[in-house]
Structure 1
């Protein structure tokens, strides 16, 4: 199940990245060659970049790609290093679950208020819900990674 979810996030992240490149390319070519920039390109870029960050967050947690300072792990016995790994996974999971909870609440408020982007009128609630789910999945992936070590 986690492997399927991970693969889906990898594909989705790649599609978001391609969309960002296409929008930027069309906007730059339109702006400088035809004096007609892509309408809403800045807003689309902002939203897609935010979605890309949250789409990649669980993948980074799964791969252990977060910045880690292991000054103590190199001088302490290996047994204690395992406990430190679990402690770090627990603290990270608590932080990610807090973010998920806050983003879910934000999504509910945005859905209730009908909050949308300024120029393209894209609703914000689905993005907030996606970010909340992504933080939740990242917390799970972090624990799974700790359990494998």
Structure 2
């Protein structure tokens, strides 16, 4: 699988999750205020979709370098020092993301074995933990690649 296909897939997933979030909110609001019949499980759906959206967007943000950075010293430090600091920041970020992926993987396996499901809709939790783990690994990989290339 090429990187381009992976990025396109993530972008498609993010777009689909955004549309789902908009649809759930719109149906719930219209049902609640116009028909006095809110969408059952809307709060739970919103939580699950939003969590998936954050994790699915994380690798895209790492790849493009669109995350928030504080660069107070960049203008006063030499280029070589800035480059090394960037590499160190990427390595630390990657280590944290790999740790998150490991923890999410463990959590997902526990949820799968225990059969953990959401309260009102009965949606299994493990696929969301698995998505988070995979996306954290991808974000770490993209972040390191981006730092090495600059």
What is the TM-score with the length of structure 1 in the denominator?
A: 0.97
What SS does the aligned partner of 2:101 have? helix
Q: How does 1:125-144 map to 2 (within 5 A)?
A: 125-144=126-145
Task: Output the CA distance in 1 between the equivalents of 2:73 and 2:99.
Answer: 27
Task: Output the CA distance in 2 between the equivalents of 1:71 and 1:36.
Answer: 52
Structure 1 residue runs of 5 or longer lacking an equivalent are none
How far the C-alpha of 1:78 sits from its partner, in A, is 0.6
Task: Output the CA distance in 1 between the equivalents of 2:135 and 2:84.
Answer: 26
Residue 20 of structure 2 corresponds to residue 19 of structure 1: yes
What is the TM-score with the length of structure 2 in the denominator?
A: 0.96
Q: How does 1:52-71 map to 2 (within 5 A)?
A: 52-71=53-72
Task: Output the CA distance in 1 between the equivalents of 2:91 and 2:75.
Answer: 20
How far the C-alpha of 1:72 sits from its partner, in A, is 2.4
Structure 2 residue runs of 5 or longer lacking an equivalent are none
Task: Output the CA distance in 1 between the equivalents of 2:7 and 2:79.
Answer: 29
Instruction: Report the count of equivalent residues.
Output: 149
Residue 94 of structure 2 corresponds to residue 93 of structure 1: yes
Task: Output the CA distance in 1 between the equivalents of 2:28 and 2:71.
Answer: 44
1:41-95 deviation digits (Å, cap 9, x = unpaired): 1110100000000000001111112221122222111111111111010000000
RMSD across aligned C-alpha pairs, in angstroms?
Answer: 0.8
Structure 1 runs, 4 residues or longer, greater than 3 Å off: none
Residue 72 of structure 2 corresponds to residue 75 of structure 1: no
The residue number in structure 2 matching 1:32 is: 33
How far the C-alpha of 1:6 sits from its partner, in A, is 1.1
